[in-house]
Amino acid sequence: MYEKKHLAAIGVILFAIMLVFCSGCIGAAETNQDAVVKIATPNEITEASYFGNYNFAQMTRVTTPPLVQVDENGDYTGALAESWTVSSDGKTWTFTLDSDYQWSDGTPLTAEDVTFSLEYTAEKIATSPAWMKNATISTSGNTIIISLAEPVYRLCGDLVTINIIPKHIWQSIDTPEEYISNGPYVGSSAYYVKSVDINSATLILAANPEWKGEAPYYGTIEIHWFATEDAAISAMLGGECDTYWKYGAAFPTTSVALLEASDKFTAVQTPSLKMSYVGFNTITSEVGRNLAFRKAVGYALNYDELVEISASGYGVSANSGFIPNGVPYYKNTTANTYNVETAKTMLDAAGYKDVNGDGIREDTHGDVLTVTLLTRDKVTGELIKEYLEKVGLNVDYKFTSDINAWVEVKEAHAYDIAYNTITAKGMMMDSGWATGYFADNTVGTGKLQNVDDPAFLELCAKISTTPEGDNLKSLISELQDYYAGQVPGIALYWCTDVTPINTEIDGWYISKATGIYNEINLLSIHPAD
Amino acid sequence: MNLLEVADLSVSFPGPSGRIPAVRNISLSLAPGECLAIVGESGCGKSVIAQAVMRLLPEGTEVLGDMYYHGQNLTHLSESEMKQIRGEEIAMVFQSPERALNPVIKIGRQLIQPQVLHKLCNAKDAELRAKGVLQSLGLDADWVMNAYPWMCSGGMCQRIVFAAVSLLHPYVVIADEPTKGLDAERIGELETMLSSITSSGKTSLLLITHDMEVAAHLADRILVMYCGMIVEEGAAALLLAAPKHPYTRGLLNSLPKNGFVPIPGMSPALTALPDGCVFHPRCPIADEECRKSIPQLRNGVRCHKC
Amino acid sequence: MKFDRRYILPLLLIAVLLIAAVFPGVFAPYEAAERDATYQAPSAEHLLGTDNMGKDIFSLLIYGARWTLIIGFSSGILAIIMGTAIGLLAGWRKGIPDEFLMGTTDIVLILPKIPLVIILAAYLGPSPWVLILVLGLLSWESIARVVRSKVIQIRSSNYILAARCLGFSDAKIMVREILPIVFPVIVPKFVLVTAAAMISEASLAFLGLSDPMMVSWGGMISDAFTYSGFLRGMWYWWLPPALCIILGVLAITSLAFIHERGVREVVQL
Amino acid sequence: MNKAVSRKIIRYSVCLLIVVLLVFFLPRCMPGDPVQCLVGEDVYVTQEILDTLTIKLGLDKPLYEQFGIYIRGLLTGDLGYSYTRHQTVADLIWSRVPWTLLLTGVAMIIGYAFGILAGTWSGWMSETKRSKVLTAFGVVVSCIPPYLLGLIFFSVFVYQLGWFPYKGFYETPDLFSVAYHMALPILTLALFVFVRNLIIMRGSVLTEKNQLYPQFAKSLGIPRNKIIYGHVLKNAILPIVTHFAIDFGFILSGALFIEIIFSLNGLGRVMYTAILNLDYPVLSGLFLVIAIMVICANLAADILYGIIDPRVKRGEEE
């Protein structure tokens, strides 16, 4: 008996390894319909609306996968698409569908569904990427050809967020954002959404009977959402849930100590694509436009303490080139250093002197130099405020408790310095390499978009239209030099992701973009022997 | 045998500096069909006697002495046994009948409930009996039964309270200051009702009042109290015709028909009683002896000079 | 009037809080912004440990008294001024002010205060002043009522009549003769409003509707809740401010209770 | 209908009018673009939607016409549209109201029943040690803000002891599961209601105890329990009914906080999410609905008062 189990486990592990390297290959394991994995999350679904609720959309992505997804290294790998090619001019993208994916209600998944999904998203969803509106999409058998008006090389970055949905269900729904249903939702991957119940705060995924790929071990995946991160973590530690997941975020670093105290969980640390930074308003702010000022601020920030306090030690001081070590085309630029005296000297040199000797600097007109600091993180915001005050700046502290109020101030350019974080997904978006957070010609809520320098925007445009290769490499090197030289923002630290691993389950696969809640992981996890 | 016998009753209340004596060494008896009036100024402790007999005094009150009803010692009865005595055997008519009735319960229910609880009859009969009594008291029974006390006049409430008591056929009725604050007409009406209690010869009335005239009209015997003590007792006719104690004389002199002559001075506070005879500061004939020693009750009067 | 011994304990407690609020620097071992290692357990150095930013919790507790009490007392004072003025006017003048008072009573009573504060704070931005204004402006009605009835009761009394006959002006009579008499009845109302405002402040801080730069007890509890103080079992982080709120409110309300004898009024959230 | 009730109704109507005016004027008097204030701060809506909204709400017309449009909308149940949640505010609120009312209602029934009984007992036996302990407990608990009470209960009974579930109204939609999930939130709220009523009732009974009618009832041989719970309680309960006016608003607010702490998806969480997103239409609608609920509850209390106390004019004297 024992041996049998053992063999099965080895088989599953072997399969998982195989799956990692070649998704879509056929194994022999079977789904245990009674087995359940429970995931705790602080991401609340407030409406059972596939398009209307952001969190719900994130949680259903594994059941209606996009064409491509992000793997554990941050590279793109196939999801619904088995493979894809791009023409050398960057205008024609061809995707071949993986035949494993079939709709859970028995309807075959066709290229027609993909076309419908892309067009439907472009038409109905306000925040869809601009290229979609002008793209021509054609199909042939199980291939989809996207023809673009302008070359787009970072297309995959956008495609990872566009779910491929069943045409026969959605074509009759005219206002997708208002459509509410408690399920089931037809899915195409190994799982489909069986039900969502906002009263019990539970989303239930069930194994897709039509799935042609390797069968997952768990027949049911339950996602339970809680009022706070703490409640979710304590539910996990208390054994109510098997693991923890939060969209766009790793395990809260302040609670990692608890994981280490628990014998059921271990904390796995992985370098993250996430980071935090301060950006300057280089568009309308007088000090923000002053390079000397920006450089001086770079010396005023205590990077070590920021890692220690705002990341609870789970982070690494960044360098001025901004892009985290581990991201393709990383460049070793000068490291950020903390030196109050240098900062003061540089501010003096920039003309911001404390003339009247009251400890606060005056601007070039002789008025008190007031710097507006925008933040939505209480802890980091307070630290930065303190650092700025230490070098003699008068800080007007604008704390907004939520993203929307933050966005309002940001859009109005009513700040000089703003604190912000870059998500793993955000790092890849737009022209990639965090450019979307700076370029003022992008759309999106969480980005500062604080640079309108034509040189920068041109560089971004070039990057997005350059295929991978040496050309791109030199452009990205140039980009990092721009960050280091022009200082549109200062990287505070690169995050280290912590993922709680339940030692009773094996086969964990942690994606760079979505953590453990990804299609590959759901297929590979199985009970540990 | 006497219906009610109170022997050597003393009652004291807890005060901020020691106990306050309200009633001291009172003894009295009540024969069937008899009306005994306890007379005295406000605060002399006469109402305390009534509450002591009914055992209605608040917790913390010290009650010494014995009270016998039909030879049964009331002081030793449990609360549930006492509950049987109250209303059915000994009942009480309070002053200000408007306040004695529950304002938010219909009068009918207030008349029916006690009868049912004492198992005198079932609810249906109780209603009929209540209506009968109300009618005999000259009230519109159907209206009253469905009315609330606040809808009734003082006079009506008085009759209703009387009805509530008489419906239980008690053997002793204690009327506590029934005439306080009433006008002459209502006093007359009340006297008629009270005198009807003793008319059968079975029920006794313990009348507690400050009003000598009411006592004169109703009582067979009169007991005069001053500062928690009996100062004089005797048959009503005799006592009224020839009062012995100077206080009794003073009370009679203060009646309007006797010239409205008030007793000089005020009753002392119970916490600061004078030495000797408690009445001596107000007594016209007091002497050295009165100031020093407390007189004993002899031949129905407590006075050194009589 | 004899001094009631039961006043001693609550008054002492309030005095301690007041002193802490006025001179926090004297008692707090550290400055409010001073930092050390984060998430420390209580030690001789940090009596109640340190919070997520490494701030000394004991010092924060002392600094927190200030805003909590300012909000409480300012609302109380505002309500007192409104209530006394309207009550005096209504009781003295009868007529329109009186009608107005009786008419607005139900309305002011019914308006759900917490949701109102929330909607105002959402529109106007989180600020202690919104809280003070709303709580102060919506809590005057019970004060106005007692003042009014007291004024009606005494306005016909002899010495007031005498004062009027002597030709004193209304204003003078009010200030000289009536205010001292209504004063005892408004004191308990004042403390009840104060207590209610302290509770409301703590509740709003929990919703994130208080100024983040303002150290208050409600804010500390909210921080402990947000930065996993509960999860880490750091009771010394959230329990002391919670106790401070409870004891502060208790001390203040018990003044009213003792004053009113019958425990009739309840603290109003 | 008698005069007192009609007078109350007039006052309630004025109250409702004030609430409506507040909700109407707040977004329109804020600095900046009223459309943005009506939509909520920074949700992504296209200019096209903003333009249709301006026309629909008549924002280009004078205020009185806007008010007319607004009132017509209200009368047809239109509370606005939440662009952050892609739902009409009315749908959003009505779908959550039953749960909040369930929480509030059950907690109030428990809290009121036990509070009244215990308060009566405690008032009648006010000299006993047990009554004093209970009263002290009541006063202390009444000084704890309801959200803190919820936090403490959550921390002790859920975090530490694990006796109750972490979230949700149920696991599976059946009675047992709902009861298990709602037990702790209801108990928390009920405790809050309980102590308030305990204190009011105790004071009220203390006053009634010294009246003559309980003495008279006792002298008629009516047993103590019948006097306390039959006679005294009926009189002493009147201040509870009077206090209901203030209390219902507080209890409802308390329920909102408790929902937030216990992850119950009722009006409280709707409010919390709306605060986080500065979703003005939802906040305004919620305020309006809560005000209407409070007014209805007060109307009910007035009618109840008339039933318990036939002298309705006594309420006027108070």
Q: What is the pLDDT of residue A301?
A: 92
**Alpha helix ranges (H) inside D143-174:** 146-153
How distant, in Å, are the alpha carbons of A357, A375, A391, A393 from that of A368?
11, 22, 14, 8
Burial of D228-267, coded b for 16+ CB within 10 Å and e otherwise, reads bebbbbbbbbbbbbbbbbbbbbbbbbbbbbbbbbbbbbbb
Higher-confidence residue of D115 and D247: namely D115
Percent of chain B at pLDDT above 70? Answer: 100
pLDDT in tens, D160-181: 888 888 888 888 888 898 889 9
Task: Return the axis-axis angle of helices D89-124 and D267-277, rounded to nearest 10°.
Answer: 120
- The amino acid that residue A103 corresponds to is W
The DSSP bridge partners found for residue B10 are B64
> What average pLDDT does chain A have?
85
Which residues from D are below 8 Å from B165, CB to CB? 220
- The amino acid that residue A505 corresponds to is I
C120 to chain A, closest Cα gap in Å: 16
Q: What is the pLDDT of residue C267?
A: 31
Q: What is the pLDDT of residue C193?
A: 83
Calpha distance B94→D80 (Å, rounded): 65
Q: What is the pLDDT of residue A38?
A: 93
Res C164 pLDDT > 80: no
Residue of C nearest to D152 (CA): C239
Non-local (6+) Cβ contacts of B199 within 8 A are none
Task: Return the axis-axis angle of helices D146-153 and D175-209, rounded to nearest 10°.
Answer: 130
Please say whether the beta carbons of C140 and D47 come within 8 A: no
Which residues from A are below 8 Å from D265, CB to CB? 46, 198-199, 201
Q: Worst-scoring range by mean pLDDT, A324-328, A464-468, C128-132, C255-259?
A: C255-259
Q: What is the pLDDT of residue B183?
A: 81
pLDDT grade, residue D188 (50/70/90)?
Answer: very high
Res A335 pLDDT > 50: yes
> What average pLDDT does chain C have?
80
Q: What is the pLDDT of residue D33?
A: 65
Please say whether the beta carbons of B189 and B220 come within 8 A: no
pLDDT in tens, A471-497: 888 888 888 899 888 889 999 998 888
Average pLDDT of span A187-202: 92
Res D42 pLDDT > 50: no
Q: What is the pLDDT of residue C4?
A: 66
B105–D234 CB contact, under 8 Å: yes
- C positions 33-72 inside 8 Å of D (CB): none
Read off the DSSP letter of residue C175: I
Helix (H, G, I), strand (E, B) or coil at A141: coil
Nearest to D220 among B79, B103, B164 (CB): B164
Residue of A nearest to D170 (CA): A200
Alpha carbon of residue C11 to chain centroid:
15
Which residues from D are below 8 Å from C258, CB to CB? none
Calpha distance D222→D210 (Å, rounded): 17
Please say whether the beta carbons of B174 and B93 come within 8 A: yes
- Interface contact C227, partner D, CB < 8 A: no
- Interface contact D157, partner C, CB < 8 A: no
Please say whether the beta carbons of C206 and C225 come within 8 A: yes
Calpha distance A473→D110 (Å, rounded): 70
Average pLDDT of span D243-266: 85
D175 to chain C, closest Cα gap in Å: 31
Q: What is the 3-state secondary structure (H, E, C) of A408-441?
A: HHHHCCCCCEEEEEECHHHHHCCCCCCHHHCECC
Please say whether the beta carbons of B250 and B263 come within 8 A: yes
- Interface contact A18, partner D, CB < 8 A: no
Calpha distance D29→A280 (Å, rounded): 33
> What average pLDDT does chain D have?
83
A445 to chain D, closest Cα gap in Å: 9
Binding partners of D (≥3 Cβ pairs within 8 A): A, B, C
B168–D221 CB contact, under 8 Å: yes
Calpha distance C24→C29 (Å, rounded): 9
Q: What is the pLDDT of residue A417?
A: 92
What is the number of other CB atoms lying within 10 angstroms of the CB of residue D150?
Answer: 25
Average pLDDT of span D182-187: 93
Res D184 pLDDT > 90: yes
Q: What is the pLDDT of residue A207?
A: 93
Question: How many CA within 13 A on the CB side of residue A419?
Answer: 25
pLDDT in tens, A110-127: 999 999 999 898 888 766
Q: What is the pLDDT of residue C262?
A: 37
Which two tokens mark B259?
């010239």
Please say whether the beta carbons of D256 and D268 come within 8 A: yes
pLDDT grade, residue A9 (50/70/90)?
Answer: low
D234–B104 CB contact, under 8 Å: yes
- Interface contact C207, partner D, CB < 8 A: yes
Task: Give the residue from A507, A428, A332, A496 showing the smallest Cα distance to A75.
Answer: A428
Nearest to A202 among D162, D168, D278 (CB): D168
Calpha distance B280→B247 (Å, rounded): 10
- The amino acid that residue A331 corresponds to is K
Calpha distance A277→A489 (Å, rounded): 7
Nearest to D86 among A44, A178, A197 (CB): A178
Nearest to D221 among B60, B83, B102 (CB): B83
pLDDT in tens, B37-89: 999 887 788 888 888 888 888 777 888 888 888 888 888 888 888 888 888 88
D145–C254 CB contact, under 8 Å: no
pLDDT grade, residue D52 (50/70/90)?
Answer: confident
Let me know if A147 is exposed, middle or buried by CB neighbors in 10 A (0-12, 13-18, 19+): middle
Res A176 pLDDT > 70: yes
Res C265 pLDDT > 60: no
Sheet with strand B62-69: strands edge to edge: B18-30, B4-15, B62-69, B72-73
Which residues from C are below 8 Å from A229, CB to CB? 228
D174 to chain C, closest Cα gap in Å: 31
Percent of chain D at pLDDT above 70? Answer: 90
Res A375 pLDDT > 50: yes
Q: What is the pLDDT of residue A4?
A: 55
Helix (H, G, I), strand (E, B) or coil at C203: helix
Q: What is the pLDDT of residue A431?
A: 77
Res C105 pLDDT > 80: no
Average pLDDT of span A11-23: 55
pLDDT grade, residue A204 (50/70/90)?
Answer: very high
Higher-confidence residue of A245 and C1: namely A245
Q: What is the pLDDT of residue A228?
A: 82
B94–D226 CB contact, under 8 Å: no
A383–C38 CB contact, under 8 Å: no
Average pLDDT of span C52-72: 88
Alpha carbon of residue B241 to chain centroid:
23
Average pLDDT of span A164-187: 90
D269–A402 CB contact, under 8 Å: no
Calpha distance D48→D37 (Å, rounded): 16
- Interface contact A180, partner D, CB < 8 A: yes
Q: What is the pLDDT of residue A11?
A: 60
For C40-148, list the strands marked E by DSSP: none
Helix (H, G, I), strand (E, B) or coil at D7: helix
Please say whether the beta carbons of D103 and D90 come within 8 A: no
Which residues from C are below 8 Å from D204, CB to CB? 264
First to last CA, chain A: 12
pLDDT in tens, D261-310: 888 888 988 888 888 777 888 888 999 999 998 888 888 888 888 777 77
Which two tokens mark A25?
């290959």
pLDDT grade, residue C259 (50/70/90)?
Answer: low
Nearest to B86 among D221, D238, D309 (CB): D221
Cis check: omega of the bond before A184, within 30 degrees of 0? yes
Which residues from A are below 8 Å from C231, CB to CB? 230, 233-234, 255, 258
Res D43 pLDDT > 60: no
Calpha distance A105→A206 (Å, rounded): 12
What is the number of other CB atoms lying within 10 angstroms of the CB of residue C4?
Answer: 9
Q: CB pairs under 8 A, 24+ apart, for B148-152?
A: B148/B103, B148/B104, B148/B105, B148/B106, B148/B107, B148/D310, B148/D311, B149/B98, B149/B101, B149/B102, B149/B103, B149/B107, B149/B110, B150/B98, B150/B103, B150/D310, B150/D311, B152/B98, B152/B107
Average pLDDT of span D143-158: 88
Which residue shows structure tokens 């995959």? A156
pLDDT in tens, D67-81: 888 888 888 888 888
Q: What is the pLDDT of residue A261?
A: 84
Average pLDDT of span C108-113: 80
Which residue shows structure tokens 């009306």? B35
Which two tokens mark A273?
């694509």
Q: What is the pLDDT of residue C159?
A: 67
Helix (H, G, I), strand (E, B) or coil at A162: coil
Calpha distance A336→A307 (Å, rounded): 13
Task: Give the residue from A308, A367, A322 showing the smallest Cα distance to A485.
Answer: A322
Residues recorded for chain D: 318
Res C87 pLDDT > 60: yes
Read off the DSSP letter of residue A133: G
Residue of B nearest to D125 (CA): B59
Nearest to D220 among B86, B103, B148 (CB): B86
A413-427, C198-212, D29-43: which is most confident: A413-427
Which two tokens mark C179?
């205010």
Average pLDDT of span D99-124: 92
What is the ipTM for the molecules in this complex? 0.78
Which residues from C are below 8 Å from A233, CB to CB? 228, 231
Res B150 pLDDT > 60: yes
Q: What is the pLDDT of residue D194?
A: 94
Res B288 pLDDT > 90: no
Q: What is the pLDDT of residue C8?
A: 83
* Sign of torsion over alpha carbons C184, C188, C193, C194: positive
Q: What is the pLDDT of residue C158?
A: 66
Q: What is the pLDDT of residue D66?
A: 83
The DSSP bridge partners found for residue A506 are A526
Higher-confidence residue of A206 and C151: namely A206
Calpha distance B130→B88 (Å, rounded): 15
Q: What is the pLDDT of residue A404?
A: 66
Residue A444 φ then ψ, to 5°: 145, 155
Please say whether the beta carbons of B88 and B70 come within 8 A: no
The DSSP bridge partners found for residue B39 are B209, B224
For testing contact with chain B, the best of D128, D211, D216 (most B CBs within 10 A): D216
Read off the DSSP letter of residue B304: T
Res C90 pLDDT > 50: yes
pLDDT in tens, A415-474: 999 998 888 777 777 777 888 888 888 777 778 888 888 888 888 888 877 877 888 888
Average pLDDT of span B15-24: 81
Average pLDDT of span C129-133: 83
Calpha distance A208→A63 (Å, rounded): 9
D293 to chain A, closest Cα gap in Å: 22
pLDDT grade, residue C1 (50/70/90)?
Answer: very low
Percent of chain A at pLDDT above 70? Answer: 93
Which two tokens mark C160?
């007031």
Helix (H, G, I), strand (E, B) or coil at A192: strand
